[in-house]
Structure 1
Amino acid sequence: MQRTRNRKRRLITRPDVGSYWISFSDMLSSLLLVFILAVFFSIYQYFSLLDIKTRELNEQQAELDRTQIVLAQREKDLETAQVTLMGKEEEVASIQIQLQQQEEDLFAAQAALKTKEDEQAVLQLQLISQQESLASQEIRLGAMQEALTSQQRRIDELLGVRTDIIRELSQSFSANNIAVKVNEVTGDIILDSQLMFETGSDMLSASGQAELGRLIPVYLSVLLRPEYEPYVAEVIVVGHTDSKGSYLFNLELSQNRALNVATYCLQLPGLTGQQRDLLQDIITAKGRSYSDRILNADGTENMDASRRVEIQFRLKDSEMIQKMNEILKGL
């Protein structure tokens, strides 16, 4: 029934078909216009949005550029910092090397100081030892000084005794008219060999015996006085020859002459028993051949003066006195 109604309506309205299409076309035109407007609006919105996005993109690009600049600056700063850091690291390494060297120097200085301290300790010990040794030496020196003073007194005493004996001998010989010279330093008496012996002979001549008979008692009367006798150690008769003949011949000749003089002195009748006993204990004889010749001023041998007999006396400790005198002269 409904369908019947609809058909009736379409049949009724059929005479207005043309106006319908006009309305439909108007509607389509309107729709097209709306579509175009929509399209234009969409395009407008697109370009507007594009412009906004472009501005945003440009802003972002500018921001990115600024960021890149900042980043580049920071990278540059970082590189500078790295270079600075490398320099600092090198400085630190150099300082570490210097520190290590200083530590080594310090260790070396400490070792040297320890060595010096050890050396100083050794030197201190040596100093103490030397001080002790010095103190001991000072004590010894004091004792030696006392001994030296005592020896000096002894030397002075003996030298005084020798001087007194020499003076007394000279005075006694002069008082008895005996022409013999006494050495002022040694006290030696020189007897002319020509007066005492014949040439080449060791036997005492009569004149020699007479000379000894006058000289020896006076000589012993001085030398063996109570004030001198304790100091006399030896009376030495020494024979000398010239260089004529061999050394051995002259040695035997000089020894025999000295022995004969000593023997005759012991047998002199003018001696007291005490003098003879004392002389026997201290007299000796020896020959020197021609080993101690007398020379002239021109260096040639004085044959007459070389042939001689010497009578010497030696005081007790005379060798020591001579050495002590040498020491004292060297002080």
Structure 2
Amino acid sequence: MSLFGTRLPLRQKGREEAEKPFWISFSDLMTALMALFLVAMTVALLAITHEISESEKQKASRDDEITQLLQRLREAARDFPGVTVRGPTIDFGDRARFDTNSHRLSDEQARLLRSFVPKVLQLARDPVGQQWLKRISVEGFADARGSYLHNLNLSLQRSERVLCALLAPPGVPDALSAEDRKLVREIFLVSGASFNAPKASAEESRRIELKLEFLDRGQQREVPRPPNSEDETRCPLDAR
């Protein structure tokens, strides 16, 4: 009490001082949680970045190995004038044209196929080929004349004719080895293309192409069932 009888308010020191440590502790806790959150986010981002970088590195490695394999194929094709390698596609050009409405190959054309395809099979046996090559599609093309179904059937027959030439039995000039014929049965696939990719002229459209298909990362080439190793003495197309 003052000299004039006025009561002064008492300061509540105890209560205020008791609350201060609580707010300081809560603030420190929130700061620590925020720091932990930032650390966790940083670690997660680093892990994701590392995973993406590793994935891109593996993809680049695959693409580079396939590019080198195709370069070796282009080098092999230089010994066969008229045979062109564009990306994964082998075009036999004028060396293997079909006559109009025909699926037959001349003896010279068949020998060319049997001389060139072992170069492809050699690459298929290469470690890079074994890792990435999925299959080889044989496509026989037709020109735009005729109906779609007629040309589709003709395309299939032309593709089949190529396999008949490759699987010709021993005794035929330049016949493939037994091991090569076995690999042809395992990885070659007949594909009819009709006239979906015409060339500038009808003659150029009646052609043969081999297309190499490759596995993606993580894929594995399917283990083929043992093919029938019995050699065909006659092409089924000739029996029709």
Normalising to structure 1: TM-score of the pair? Answer: 0.47
- Name the structure 2 match of 1:307: 206
1:204 and 2:108 correspond: no
**1:150–1:276 CA distance, 2 compared to 1 (3 A):** farther
% same residue: 24
Find 1:278's aligned residue among 173, 183, 208.
Answer: 183
Determine the C-alpha separation between the residues in 2 that align with 1:263 and 1:146.
Answer: 50
Q: Give RMSD over aligned pairs.
A: 3.2
* CA drift at 1:212: 0.6
Secondary structure in structure 2 of the residue aligned to 1:242: coil
Please give the residue correspondences for 1:16-55 in structure 2 after superposition, counting only pairs within 5 Å: none
* CA drift at 1:138: 7.8
Please give the residue correspondences for 1:213-228 in structure 2 after superposition, counting only pairs within 5 Å: 213-228=114-129
**1:160–1:194 CA distance, 2 compared to 1 (3 A):** closer
Could you list the per-position Cα deviations for residues 48-106 of structure 1 after superposition, in whole angstroms to 9, with x for gaps in the alignment?
xxxxxxxxxxxxxxxxxxxxxxxxxxxxxxxxxxxxxxxxxxxxxxxxxxxxxxxxxxx
The amino acid across from 1:231 in the alignment is W
Find 1:188's aligned residue among 71, 86, 89.
Answer: 89
Structure 1 residues not aligned, in runs of 5+:
1-131, 296-301, 321-331
Determine the C-alpha separation between the residues in 1 that align with 2:60 and 2:169.
Answer: 34
Secondary structure in structure 2 of the residue aligned to 1:237: strand
1:288 and 2:193 correspond: yes
Determine the C-alpha separation between the residues in 2 that align with 1:304 and 1:137.
Answer: 63
Instruction: Return the structure number with greater relative CO, CA threshold 8 A, min gap 6.
Output: 2
The amino acid across from 2:214 in the alignment is L
Secondary structure in structure 1 of the residue aligned to 2:84: coil
Asked whether the equivalents of residues 240 and 306 of structure 1 are also in contact (C-alpha less than 8 Å), the reply is yes
Determine the C-alpha separation between the residues in 1 that align with 2:63 and 2:54.
Answer: 14
- Name the structure 1 match of 2:60: 156
**1:258–1:158 CA distance, 2 compared to 1 (3 A):** same
* CA drift at 1:267: 3.8
* CA drift at 1:193: 6.8
Of structures 1 and 2, the larger Rg is shown by: 1
Asked whether the equivalents of residues 198 and 205 of structure 1 are also in contact (C-alpha less than 8 Å), the reply is no
* CA drift at 1:177: 4.5
* CA drift at 1:144: 4.9
Determine the C-alpha separation between the residues in 2 that align with 1:221 and 1:179.
Answer: 21
Could you list the per-position Cα deviations for residues 192-234 of structure 1 after superposition, in whole angstroms to 9, with x for gaps in the alignment?
3783433211122222212112211122223332342222111
Determine the C-alpha separation between the residues in 2 that align with 1:178 and 1:268.
Answer: 26
Which of the two has greater helix per residue?
1
The amino acid across from 1:224 in the alignment is R
Work out the number of aligned pairs and report it. 179
Structure 2 residues not aligned, in runs of 5+:
1-36, 220-240
1:249 and 2:154 correspond: no
**1:262–1:154 CA distance, 2 compared to 1 (3 A):** farther
Determine the C-alpha separation between the residues in 2 that align with 1:158 and 1:268.
Answer: 37
Determine the C-alpha separation between the residues in 2 that align with 1:275 and 1:136.
Answer: 56
